[in-house]
Amino acid sequence: MSTFDPRKDPRGRTSNAGSFSERTHSDPETTLGAPEDWPAIGSETLDWESRYAEPSALERYGPHPQTYTAAVPPLISGRALRLSPQTAALARAAENELIRFDASLNDEMTGFAPLLLRSEAAASSQIEHLSASARAILTAEIGDTSKRNATEIVGNTRAMQSALALADELTPGSVRKMHEVLMGGTNHAPGDWRTEPVWIGTSARSPVGAAFVAPRFERVPALMDDVMKFARRDDLPVLSQVAIAHAQFETIHPFTDGNGRTGRALVQSMLRGKDITRSVTVPVSAGLLTDVNAYHDALTAYRAGNVEPIVEQMAVASDDAIRNARTLVGQIRETTTGWREQAKPRTGSQLEKILDYAARQPVFTAATASADLGIGTTNIYPHLRKLAELGILKQKSEYKIGQVWRSDDVLAALDQFVDRAGRRRS
């Protein structure tokens, strides 16, 4: 059994922060100390003005004036990060496990990357109480927009893809692009900073008495500039930096809607941009989904000036996500091995290409497969019929898009992944 060395990453390099990076990291002694050194958010009292031009009778005759307390987050871009030795070691260990998992799939990236990306998007959406079956989500991907939740989750998948594409930027502009992709087609100002209050509480009518009110919208641009400067720093242990940038983003709540999903897309963008994940999207949101209450409690603790819980939650979520993803990968490998034993495709043949395609795209039409694989439709149908006869694929008519082909084995594995993520650890 190997002994874990928190100063050595799985790719054989030794770094002070325990992360895989060619950049220079700070000495770990500068990152250890009392967690209470991180500042709590401040507050300011603001007058509440109804969004309607004319007040209602209730507003005219109710208590006047009405005020509410909004958060004033501290600026963090140049702040020292002090963690207890235990939390720092936990984060380094989780960071190294993320690197190991990513490296272990490098040769199979083409097959597993799309499935893990969709799994992350589905889990992130479920944290916001948006759920749909894998079949509904993948059917929405190819044009069936009849199921609202599935369509919104597809938007989240595209936002994750955008986050990975923008991983080298980590700017306010890249965050706005992620949100634009996520919320495109909605009335929630896709890609624009909010110009109104947002809050967490039981009343949708006003922020008066809300549990948490995000900073007034005039503060958002400067706060987002600051948190993205923090995200671009290269002198911090990466997973801890990711956790804190995420918590600060969620505290700012820069958009009218979609903040949670955009904030978790930012997590993936930072992991990719800082070389923790090079090949696949590790579904960290699936780990957070395992105990959503603890995740929300950690965000609350961060706002009170304690960074330890959110760093610990990100580390534990990463570990849970890796375990869950390994199970999914094992199921897909077993399924595809069985397919090959049944179908007996020749190496490099069209049949082999279609089998690989069905594993990573388990709902498709003949036209989409033909276009993606470069196989003529007249040539693809005999292969699809053969796979249907073998029970590998099923054919069904779907609303709006006609005949689709699907792999129920892969769809079941994806649904089981989300189900496992939704169970709290005992």
Q: Which residues, in sequence order, are bridge partners of residue 394?
A: 406
Residue 299 has pLDDT above 60, yes or no: yes
Q: CA 302, CA 147: separation in Å to the nearest integer?
A: 36
**CATH code of the domain in which 255 resides:** 1.10.3290.10
Average pLDDT estimate for 37-59: 75
Same domain, 254 and 370: no
| Among candidate residues 326, 352, 375, the one where a domain is terminated | 326
Q: Which two tokens stand for residue 295?
A: 């995740």
pLDDT band at 421 (very low <50, low <70, confident <90, very high): confident
Same domain, 189 and 103: yes
Residue 32 has pLDDT above 60, yes or no: no
Q: Is residue 21 part of a domain?
A: no
Same domain, 176 and 225: yes
Residue 21 has pLDDT above 70, yes or no: no
pLDDT band at 30 (very low <50, low <70, confident <90, very high): very low
Same domain, 147 and 204: yes
Residue 20 has pLDDT above 90, yes or no: no
* Residue 152 Cα to chain centre, angstroms: 14
Reported as a single tens digit per residue, the pLDDT across 57-102 is 555 555 555 889 999 999 999 999 999 999 999 999 999 999 999 8
Q: Is residue 178 part of a domain?
A: yes
pLDDT band at 259 (very low <50, low <70, confident <90, very high): very high
Least confident of 88-97, 107-116, 303-312, 325-334: 107-116
Q: What pLDDT sits at residue 53?
A: 44
CB 276: neighbour CB atoms within 10 A?
A: 23
Token pair 């500039």 is at which residue?
A: 225
Q: What pLDDT sits at residue 216?
A: 96
Q: What pLDDT sits at residue 55?
A: 54
| Among candidate residues 293, 326, 359, the one where a domain is terminated | 326
DSSP single-letter state for residue 201:
S
Across the chain, mean pLDDT equals 86
In this structure, are residues 66 and 242 in contact, taking their beta carbons and an 8 Å threshold?
no
Q: Is residue 148 part of a domain?
A: yes
**CATH code of the domain in which 372 resides:** 1.10.10.10
Q: CA 266, CA 274: separation in Å to the nearest integer?
A: 12
Q: Is residue 52 part of a domain?
A: yes
Same domain, 241 and 207: yes
Residue 196 has pLDDT above 80, yes or no: yes
Per-residue exposure over 40-65, b if at least 16 CB sit within 10 Å of its own CB, e if not: ebeeeeeeeeeeeeeeeeebeeeeee
Residues contacting residue 373 through CB under 8 Å, at least 6 positions apart: 350, 353, 354, 357, 380
Same domain, 369 and 319: no
Reported as a single tens digit per residue, the pLDDT across 272-292 is 999 999 888 889 998 998 899
Nearest Cα residue to 81 out of 317, 245, 224: 245
Residue 18 has pLDDT above 90, yes or no: no
| Among candidate residues 326, 359, 380, the one where a domain is terminated | 326
Write the CA distances from 388 to 336, 337, 357, 406, 408, integer angstroms.
15, 17, 15, 9, 11
User: Which is it for the CA torsion 97, 245, 253, 190, positive or negative?
Assistant: negative
Token pair 């939650």 is at which residue?
A: 313
Q: Is residue 9 part of a domain?
A: no
Least confident of 46-55, 212-221, 417-426: 46-55
Q: Helix or strand or coil: residue 255?
A: coil
Q: What pLDDT sits at residue 109?
A: 60
Least confident of 144-148, 213-217, 311-315, 326-330: 144-148
Q: What pLDDT sits at residue 168?
A: 93
Q: Is residue 160 part of a domain?
A: yes
**DSSP per-residue letters across 282-328:** --HHHHHHTTHHHHHHHHHHHHTT--HHHHHHHHHHHHHHHHHHHHH
> CB under 8 Å, gap of 24 or more: what pairs does 296-300 form?
298/247, 299/247, 299/250, 299/251, 300/212
pLDDT band at 397 (very low <50, low <70, confident <90, very high): confident
Write the CA distances from 331 to 43, 411, 413, 416, integer angstroms.
50, 11, 7, 10
Domain count, the chain: 2
Average pLDDT estimate for 302-312: 97
Residue 231 has pLDDT above 90, yes or no: yes
Q: What percent of the chain has pLDDT over 70?
A: 85
Same domain, 285 and 373: no
- Domain residues for the domain of 364 are 344-421
Residues contacting residue 107 through CB under 8 Å, at least 6 positions apart: none
Reported as a single tens digit per residue, the pLDDT across 341-357 is 999 999 999 999 999 99
Q: Is residue 67 part of a domain?
A: yes
In this structure, are residues 214 and 253 in contact, taking their beta carbons and an 8 Å threshold?
yes
Q: What pLDDT sits at residue 424?
A: 52
Angle at 275 between CA 269 and CA 278, to 5 degrees: 80
Half-sphere exposure of 46 (CA within 13 A, CB side): 20
Q: What pLDDT sits at residue 29?
A: 35
The H-assigned helical ranges of 75-147 are 85-104, 109-127, 134-141
Q: What pLDDT sits at residue 110?
A: 63
Same domain, 142 and 183: yes
Same domain, 164 and 204: yes
Same domain, 108 and 233: yes
Q: What pLDDT sits at residue 166?
A: 92
Nearest Cα residue to 163 out of 149, 181, 150: 181
Q: Is residue 4 part of a domain?
A: no
Q: What pLDDT sits at residue 105?
A: 83
Average pLDDT estimate for 1-8: 39
Pairing of strands 212-213, 67-72: unpaired
User: What phi and psi values does residue 246 have, to the nearest 5 degrees?
Assistant: -65, -45
Residues contacting residue 9 through CB under 8 Å, at least 6 positions apart: 15, 18, 19, 20, 95, 96, 99
pLDDT band at 51 (very low <50, low <70, confident <90, very high): low
Same domain, 212 and 111: yes
Q: Which two tokens stand for residue 340?
A: 């090959």
Same domain, 353 and 295: no
